[in-house]
Structure 1
Amino acid sequence: MAPRAKDDEVVFALSGKWISWAHTAVAYCAFLGSLITGLYLHYHKIVENEYYGYPQEWFPSVSATIGDRYPERSVFQVFIAMTSGPRFALVFLYYILTNRPDTTLPKFVLGVGIFRTLTCGGWTYVTSTDDHGWHDIFMISYLVATLPWTLGCIALSPKANPIALKWRKRLATAFFGTLVPLIYFFIQHKVHKVAGAYTTYAFFEWALILLDVGFDAVTALDFEGFELTVRDIQGASRGKSSQVADAVLEKEKDKPIGQAFEAGFSLDEVLDAAADVYNAYIFWTLLTSLGLVVWYFPLWHMGISGYEVAVMSTVSPFLLCSRSLRSIVTQNLRYVHLSSLIGLTAYLIKTPELRLLAVSFAVAATCLAWSATWYAERSSSTRMEARALAWSIGLIASSLAKFGNHTNNPLWPIVNAENGGWNKVGFVLAVAAVLRSTRRDTYNRGGMEGSQNVTGSPLLAGLGLGGLFFGMHSLLSDSSTMILWVWDGYPVRGPIAANGVVTLLFMGLGVLHYFHFQEDGLNWISFGFVGLGAFLVTSFHHWTGYFGACCLALELVSMAPPLIASAVRHGPVAFGVGFLVYNIMVLAHVWVVAYAFVPGGPLMREHTDWVMAAMVLLIAAGISAQPKSKPKSKGSRKPKNVGQNRTRSYYVYVLGGLELLAISISYLRFPTNDYVPYHKDDKVISAGIWTVHFSLDNDMWSSERRMRDLIKEMEIDVIGLLESDLQRIIMGNRDTTQYLAEDLGMYVDAGPGPDKHTWGAALLSKFPILNSTHHLLPSPVGELAPAIHATLDCYGEQVDVVVFHSGQEEDPEDRRLQSEYLAKLMKESPRPLILLSYLVIKPQEGNYNTYVGEKSGMKDIDPSDWDRWCEYILYKGIKRSGYARVSRGTITDTELQVGKFIVGQQESSDEQIAEEHVGEGLRFPSIFRGQGRRGHAYHVFDEPRYYN
């Protein structure tokens, strides 16, 4: 026992609260001191941003104030250095106050506090001018660590001090609530370029600083009972702080979420949860890859190929209906899971047919393994729930992996080391995850029958699973799918791709929603929100439609564990029915757009609304099949299950890590909107058209990186992409335009969304898109013809660009009506206009004379080019200076055509001139002459053409 201090030994004593007050005072001095200095010395400079200055913008942001100018930067750095001592002391004192032997949460919060303090020093002393990359890394790390620090401090707040807890909750609520308008006004500034928006954003940014420092100032109330003393003796004092209970958990101890954190922390069990989630991530990786490799074959056959039968590999759970097979599978789950990993090695197979075979086998194995796993755990609600939770969070992990890789999963069989794949690392981790996840025996071996006296229909339970599987795969397997459903062109009036983090956050909230309500949450109220979400996302655009998307994300994830538990009680046949119904829904949601190529297609033509209604009704069937629990007596409570609560807590830790990673990725992916054309001094627009064949190349590889290389090396400023809508299960729920836009530095309009039933048209531009309108041209018989009509700000002048894909050759009446519609649209445009199109015509014949001539006011970029059939570039009111055709290599089945135009100059003659008479900025790159590069070369004319 440590000796008690004698009064005459104490030479100095300080109340602990002064540590907090010192930290607060010095931190506020750092920010406010630099603000006052900056306003006094450099007011007009620090209020100016990339778009506006004073008087449109009249108050500086935090970063502009503390950033790069002397002496305000020095004022900030000096005071922040002085803050470090009290800051470290505050973090350690809070650990001493809250430490107790039965939990590691105080240690975790201590680590976060230290990490947060160090990263603060990072972004303080490494400014964006010094090293933009490291400055962002430190800043993102600091912001991400703020969430666990805030929540951890609230969770550990001593119950003996309710005032401190109250203020922590108030300040935390205000802090996170401020993020919403902060993000809104940042988007208004960065995307919409609204004058004055950055000033409003700056006020919210300063509010975050005040609230952040104020949150830590609350520790002054906790530290009043501490006294720091200096004693004039030798030796060190050792003591234990009294155990302090967790106020929040004490208050919430009888609620499911609160119970989840009551038990102790075990790193070993966290690793178990992470292994389960990664194993589930592999399931979703394999399932989402099947459609991609199947799609390759009808894509190249231009119709039913026969390989589509591979989608039926998912119905393997029907094998569990056999008692003997069920016994074999449940006793060898580890090996069934391991056998599914052959799908991760399929990228090594060069032959597309064999690659499809490998993936099909893997999908059959993983569907069988997961269904058997759920069924085998049926006697333990804890283990059953854990597997279902892992499966749901695995979908979030899969969607997150795609969010971080621009909608490609890095373990898919269409990627490799050359085009963004992480196949080897993913396979090694998958083996480790399966071995760890399956090391514990299941409770039910040998095909024991399920629960007795279960009411309800296995068929209805299977229908519910089918609706759930389809909804989660079609809408939630990529964070941008429903964003593109509600996208409707410029100006931006709804979410953009970087806002996919919101979808991921609502999916995470779905897990917490399930924790709170558990199986009681599977009710008709939740069904109502599913129906509302489906209606809104199908019927409305912009934020209204996206609100429906968020409802679906939350409810579908929340419903997964109880629907799976219900199916388990009804026996393995429910899983077979579920995957069969899922397959039917997958085909239906492809039929709505592929109606021109499939039997019975016209019946489903453009009926996404039918598909969504069917999904909702299927989920209703699953809810009605849920076994009825006995009514609880008044005042009764469900008994605590400590093991179950502990297991849930570990999945929350994994989920929290995934969501923090999603926030970081969103920050990094937010568009900069500071793009510059390749030859701005010559006022040149280099415009191209390319039919990209759904970003699958001739050999079944994802092709966006090679597309990026050609577009960059051809120095294209504006490009229209056709056959670009990949947001369906059969196409992997991808969006190639995200990668191209972010890597090339271009604005993007993805065109009519997946709910518009087209094969897609997209526009990418180095120039700001002022306005864009989406069109669906008359198509009474054949496939829908999409068009984008956009107005660009090109060197201060407005230029219209139209991207258009006409109907197929078999429907001449469709193409005639479309030519008249588009001719009228182009004729009515009062601005210079460039058409980037796929017309399916012969030069000088038929509809060509509607697109080119008096009816449209348009000219052909090269009337003498007789060797065209599909792609055409037309123009009016602008000078054409060059034209080139570039061979496709193995990327797609269509060449790239490019035209060069000079802004501010009128149309000229068709006289061709030699390249030496053309300025450097107007010339096409020379690297594609002769043999060219990577299979791309100028062809047909063997060189570009230039015009006087």
Structure 2
Amino acid sequence: MSSRYKDKDGGVVLAFGGQWVSWLHTGAAYGAFLTALIVGCALHYRKIVQNEWYGYPDEWFPSVSATIGDRYPERSLFMLFIAITSGPRFALVGLFYLLTKRPGHVLPKVVALSGLVRTLTCGGWTYITSTDDHGWHDILMISYLVITIPWTVGCLALSPPNAKAIKYRKYLAGCFFGTLIPLVYFFIQHKVYRVAGAYTIYAFFEWALILFDVGFDAVTALDFSTFEVVIKDVKGATKGANNSSVSTAVLEKEKERATGGVFAAGFHLRDALDIAADVYHGFVFWSILTSLGVVVWYFPLWHMGISGYEVLIMSTVSPLLLGIKSVRTFVIRNQGMAHVLSLAGLLAYQVKAPEARLFIVGFGLSVQCLAWAATFYSDSVQPARLEARILAWAAGLIMSSVAKFAWYTNNPIWPVMHAENGGWNGTGFIFALWAVLTFNRKAPLQTGDSGEKGGSPLLASIGLGGLFFGLHSLLSDTSTMILWVWDGYPIRGPVSNVHGWYTIAAMTGGLICTIYRPAAVTTWTAYGVGCIAAALLTVYERWTGYYGALALAAYLMAISVPIIANAAKQRPGLTFGLGFLIYNFIVLFHVWVVAYAFVPGGHLVRERTDWVMLTMMLCIGAGVFDLISQNAGAAHNKTNNRRRTASTGYRKYHVGVLAALNVFFLCANFLRFPTNDYKPYHPETRSFTAGIWTIHFSLDNDMWSSEHRMRDLIKEMEVDVIGLLESDLQRIIMGNRDTTQFLAEDLGMYVDYGPGPNKHTWGAALLSKFPIVNSTHHLLPSPVGELAPAIHATLDMYGTFVDVFVFHSGQEEDPEDRRLQSEYMAKLMGSSPRPSFLLSYLVTKPLKGNYNNFVSDVSGMHDVDPTDWDRWCEYILFKGLRRTGYARVSRGSITDTELQVAKFVVPEGPEEVAAAWNASPEQRGKRVLEKEVPEGLRFPAMFKGEGRRDHRYHVFDEPRYYNL
């Protein structure tokens, strides 16, 4: 390791090539993991291949965490080598910074900082193992993976012009991130589906990540040959010198190809912050737009029909004003003021009165649509700037979907959110103010008519309308299309809290495709693929339908840039004003298909979601036709391409923002990953508490999102199984939400969402502390009125299969519907030979009319309390179970319906089973005092008397208990 260069300055005791830092780091790191693996397999093989579900021979290869953290002495040997690795690791980060730093460049500092943080987090998850502290181990592991992204991308961006190093970095980075996909897949197979052997395959991919990760850093040996430690730059690489036989220009081109040209124009922090601000401003637009439906929906809910406030849906047609020349000129010249005024929609949460909140949101959205249309039109004379604006607007939609996933399908800055239910309204507004001021820093490019016309404004506006609806209705929440294809248990398709990232990835891929392959997007072939994808989503369930959903998501995002860019060059009052009007029409159309019983002429479009999808795709087709017609001329194409590619430096920042949003989603996804280790409240008594609650679409009496308050009552009442009705929120008018996700994950329950949003019901859902073995969804006969949903599920309760039925009957105005539905349910319940209970909304009086179909010899069901004369809608029925208690709990201000609960014991042994099935009416009706009931079978005492938070036992003033 003697120096190849003479020591002209004197004083050098030891000199060796910088590449030895890389080799020492690589050897120590690989040595740590491989030594632990060899020793662990030799001494504790069967123990380290054992996981929570399976052991040898089903699982035969250990995971990284089990190898390095569970046993002595492999754990000690691993930590020894990792300690040795730390010195070379810090030196490696320092040398790479010295190699790449340039005056005035921020990126080398950012990469160096990420390298230091990455090293520290690596030490964190290796020294704090999952056995020591599972929580901190996971946090540090996630942090390490997240910080690996800027380190990897930064190293590619700053890589010296060395063809071999660039090639190896590109391959190893691709392998590393590509391995994450099968890694996650097999982890899901192990954790969720409990597939034997899946964890072994997962372990191989986990070890592959280690190999690729360390290998990526080992490539620095090819760069560090320019260094000699003390540290002396013997080749002048830090000054940009190059002694290679290959020209710098050639190597720079190779580097540009390796990085996709993303970093060709350098990196500037201010530009990156500008793009981030633009994307956040796009996020604000989508936040206000998606909130309007929620605050409008509140009023027809309480009026049980059209209230008049629905007219605020037309807030979006404000761009029609741009058809007036004087107004257009004024708005374009003052578009900064318009964007600032639009933030009023974020401050609506400060107002308690629902009516005032609605009008403030409507005003904010109206100004926002006007401002964005003016901005697009003004920037249309410069294609690069226009594309940057549209990309920010589209990325804002992705950010909105990511935020909704992190907040369990609620947007944290919606006006129905506040601090009490998890809102971040104040923080969101501060960032929005920064974003809008940054967004408006650039002056308008034109205030008059655009010089470039061409095309048809009518076709462009029709395309816009279809595009806006598709983006809003299908992509504003990652769970929407997943619930379209959901068909119950056992799980045979995607689930929202596990596979939601696939939708985000498809959206991201579509946006990147339109950036780098625009010609492939604006073709009839691409449109045909989009149409086929829409048909698959509409017709099929499970994975087949979801594959169509992913393809449609990619297509909608990809076509959004050219369609909006084309519309921006036309008359904005017509294109954007009429476009939003058409969007509003399709929004009403897609609400009418389920709300047909409450609107004039609604039955003409009853349950015709297929017509809605067809309308959407035909509208988009009109926009595509206009695009293709304009692009027919070769001369126009060349001019357009030259203008579009004249300045593309902004694209790398958009790609960076998209990458960051995906990483944030994956972090939230990890935190929300289901544990599936749920336990009932009182297993020692073999009992369960069942409840039925009509949740009124998760909006309380004061128009706040009610999930947190619902969670508190369900938890404090110790409900093990609950049916939720009026729970389908996956439409624009309801905010594309899913209350069941928050409740199930926070309460630790399995969930069946019930018939999906494309089944045209108001929703029925089931949450259970007990595993759901099987479930089927039913749409009951409804020749006249609203469609009635039902769930028939089998639960594994203490080793006994018990059936549960969740059912929402038709409305009062349609007696024939309700009679047919009662007969259907009676036969369905009677078909079950297992112990069963019904959680329902029946719209009948006790002991009268259709009640005698539900409680009959055909169904075999018994009323939980026939003496309760005050009921009208909610009923609990049962058979083959030992009923021990029944209570009615006041709703407070959460909804318009009380929570009804009943306690049952699952019989054990032949005698108990026979007694439960054959009990006489007298035996079932005998009531006892609370003190005669074991503690574990009593209802919580906190709701006696005045109760808590306006919840108390009412009607009977206290729970009723029955003979065991």
Q: TM-score, normalised by structure 2?
A: 0.93
Hey, what's the Cα distance between the residues in 2 that align with 1:228 and 1:542? 60
Which residue in 1 is equivalent to 2:213? 212
Query: Take 2:637 and 2:360, find their aligned partners in 1: how far apart are those partners?
Result: 56
Q: What displacement does 1:500 show? A: 1.6
Partners of 2:738 and 2:231 in 1: CA distance: 64
Label 1:173 to 1:588 Cα distance change in 2 as closer, same or farther (>3 A).
Answer: same
Residue 655 of structure 1 deviates from its aligned partner by 2.2
Tell me if the contact between 2:166 and 2:255 (Cα under 8 Å) persists in the aligned partners.
no
Matches within 5 A, 1:299-378: 299-378=301-380
Residue 245 of structure 2: aligned partner: none
Match of 1:941 in 2: 956
User: Secondary structure in 1 aligned to 2:648?
Assistant: helix
Q: Which stretch shifts more, 63-72 or 134-143?
A: 63-72
**Alpha-carbon distance change, 614 to 633 in structure 1, aligned in 2, over 3 angstroms:** closer
| Secondary structure of the corresponding residue to residue 53 of structure 2 | coil
Q: Does 1:505 align with 2:505?
A: yes
Give the residue type in structure 1 aligned to 2:563. L
1:461/1:640 Cα in 2 relative to 1: closer, same or farther (>3 Å)?
A: closer
CA-to-partner distance for each residue in 1:393-412, whole Å, 9 max, x for gaps?
Answer: 11111111111101111111
Q: 1:729-744 alignment to 2 at 5 Å? A: 729-744=732-747
Q: Which residue of 2 aligns with 1:461?
A: 460
Q: Partner of 1:477 in structure 2?
A: 476
- Aligned-partner residue type, residue 334 of structure 1: G
Q: Paired residue for 1:648?
A: 651
Distance verdict in 2 for CA 1:103–1:510, change over 3 Å: farther
**Is the contact made by 2:342 and 2:367 (CA closer than 8 Å) also made in structure 1?**
yes
Give per-residue Cα distances to partners, 1:416-438, cap 9 Å, x unaligned. 11111111111222222212211
The one-letter code matched in structure 2 to 1:939 is H
Task: Name the amino acid aligned to 2:934.
Answer: G
Q: 2:779 aligned to 776, 781, 792, which one?
A: 776
> Is contact 1:155-1:246 (8 Å) kept?
no
1:260–1:645 CA contact under 8 A, matched in 2: no
Contact 1:792/1:798 (CA < 8 Å) preserved in 2?
yes
Change (3 A) 1:336 1:111: same
Match of 2:807 among 804, 807, 830: 804
Tell me, yes or no, if the aligned pair for 1:463 and 1:619 is still in contact at 8 Å: yes
Q: What secondary structure sits across from 1:593 in the alignment?
A: helix
Instruction: Give the drift of 1:60.
Output: 2.5
1:81-120 alignment to 2 at 5 Å? 81-99=83-101, 104-120=106-122
Residue type of the alignment partner of 1:861: V
Cα distance in structure 1, aligned partners of 2:602 and 2:951: 37
Determine the structure 2 residue equivalent to 1:564. 564
Of the three residues 422, 427, 434, the one matched with 2:424 is: 422
Across the aligned residues of Structure 1 and Structure 2, the Cα RMSD in angstroms comes to 2.5
Contact 1:727 1:733 in 2 (8 A): yes
Number of matched residues? 938
1:320 is displaced (CA, Å) by 0.3
CA contact (8 A) 2:943 2:953 kept: yes
The structural deviation recorded for 1:266 is 1.7
> Aligned residue for 1:240?
238
Q: Partner amino acid for 1:502?
A: Y
Question: What SS does the aligned partner of 2:596 have?
Answer: coil
Q: Which amino acid aligns with 1:472?
A: L
> Matched residues in 1 for 2:640 and 2:388: separation?
22
Matched to 2:344, the amino acid is I
2:612 match: 611
CA contact (8 A) 2:48 2:70 kept: no
Q: Are 1:792 and 2:795 matched, yes or no?
A: yes
Which deviates more from structure 2 when the two are superposed, residues 616-625 or residues 56-65?
A: 56-65
Task: Map Cα deviations across residues 882-937 of structure 1 (whole Å, 9 max, x no partner).
Answer: 11111111111111111111123432532111111111111110000011111111
CA distance in 1, matches of 2:262, 2:13: 47
Residues 155-184 of structure 1: CA deviation (Å, up to 9, x unaligned): 44444333x433333333333333222222
SS at match of 2:150: helix
Q: C-alpha distance in 2, partners of 1:342/1:708?
A: 31
The one-letter code of the counterpart of 1:501 is: W
List runs of 5+ in structure 1 lacking aligned partners: none
* Counterpart mapping for 1:283-682 below 5 A: 283-445=285-447, 448-452=448-452, 454-498=453-497, 499-518=499-518, 521-572=521-572, 573-626=574-627, 627-628=630-631, 630-631=633-634, 638-639=641-642, 644-682=647-685
Q: 1:734 deviation in Å?
A: 0.5
Asked if 2 retains the 8 angstrom alpha-carbon contact of 1:791 and 1:799, the reply is: yes
Q: CA offsets, 1:815-864, max 9 Å, x none? A: 22222222222222232212111111222222222211210111111122
Instruction: Name the residue aligned to 1:920.
Output: 935
Q: Is 1:465–1:622's contact at 8 Å kept on the other side of the alignment?
A: yes
Deviation of residue 692 (structure 1)? Answer: 0.3
Q: How far apart, in 2, do the equivalents of 1:859 and 1:480 lie?
A: 37
CA distance in 2, matches of 1:120, 1:333: 48
Moved more, 296-305 or 143-152: 143-152
Contact 1:798–1:831 under 8 Å retained in 2: yes
Q: Which moved more, 1:402-411 or 1:7-16?
A: 7-16
| Distance in 1 (alpha carbons) for counterparts of 2:607 and 2:250 | 55
For the residue of structure 2 that corresponds to 1:897, the secondary structure is strand
Separation (CA, whole Å) in 2 of partners of 1:637 and 1:883: 72
Following superposition, the deviation at residue 217 of structure 1 comes to 2.8
Instruction: State the alpha-carbon separation in 1 of the partners of residues 178 and 865 from structure 2.
Output: 57
After TM superposition, list the pairs within 5 Å mapping 1:797-836 onto structure 2: 797-836=800-839
Q: What code does the residue aligned with 1:496 have?
A: V
Q: Which amino acid aligns with 1:917?
A: E
Give 1:70 deviation, angstroms: 3.3
Residue identity (%): 62
**2 CA distance for matches of 1:795 and 1:132?**
29
| Alpha-carbon offset, residue 43 of structure 1 | 3.5
User: More deviation in 235-244 or 539-548?
Assistant: 235-244
Change over 3 Å in CA distance of 1:253–1:211 after alignment to 2: closer
Change (3 A) 1:635 1:817: closer
Q: Is the 8 A contact 2:753 2:766 kept in 1?
A: yes
Q: CA contact under 8 A between 1:536 and 1:545: conserved in structure 2?
A: yes
Q: By how many angstroms is 1:124 displaced?
A: 1.6
Per the TM alignment, residue 310 of structure 1 is displaced from its structure 2 partner at its CA by 0.7
SS at match of 1:472: helix
Cα-to-partner distance string for 1:117-158 (whole Å, 9 max, x where unaligned)? 111111122233444333222111111122333333344444
* 1:161-214 C-alpha deviation (Å, 9 max, x unpaired): 33x433333333333333222222211221112233223322222222222223
Does the C-alpha gap of structure 1 residues 125 and 947 become closer, same or farther in structure 2, counting only changes over 3 Å? Answer: same
Is the 8 Å Cα contact of residues 326 and 372 (structure 1) preserved in structure 2? yes
SS of aligned partner of 2:774 = strand
8 Å Cα contact 2:944-2:958 kept in structure 1:
yes
State the TM-score, normalized to the length of structure 1: 0.94
Amino acid at match of 1:463: I
Once residues 634 and 643 of structure 1 are traced to their aligned partners in structure 2, the CA distance between those partners, rounded to angstroms, is 14
Residues 835, 874 of structure 1: 8 Å contact kept: yes
Contact 1:479–1:503, Cα closer than 8 Å, also in 2: yes
Q: 1:330 offset after TM fit, Å?
A: 1.0
Superposed, which structure 2 residues align to 1:826-905 within 5 Å?
A: 826-905=829-908
2:204 is aligned to 203
Structure 1 residue 101, shift from structure 2 partner: 5.5
- 1:707 matched residue in structure 2: 710
Deviation by residue 1:231-253 (Cα, 9 ceiling, x = unmatched): 9xxx9999835457698972485
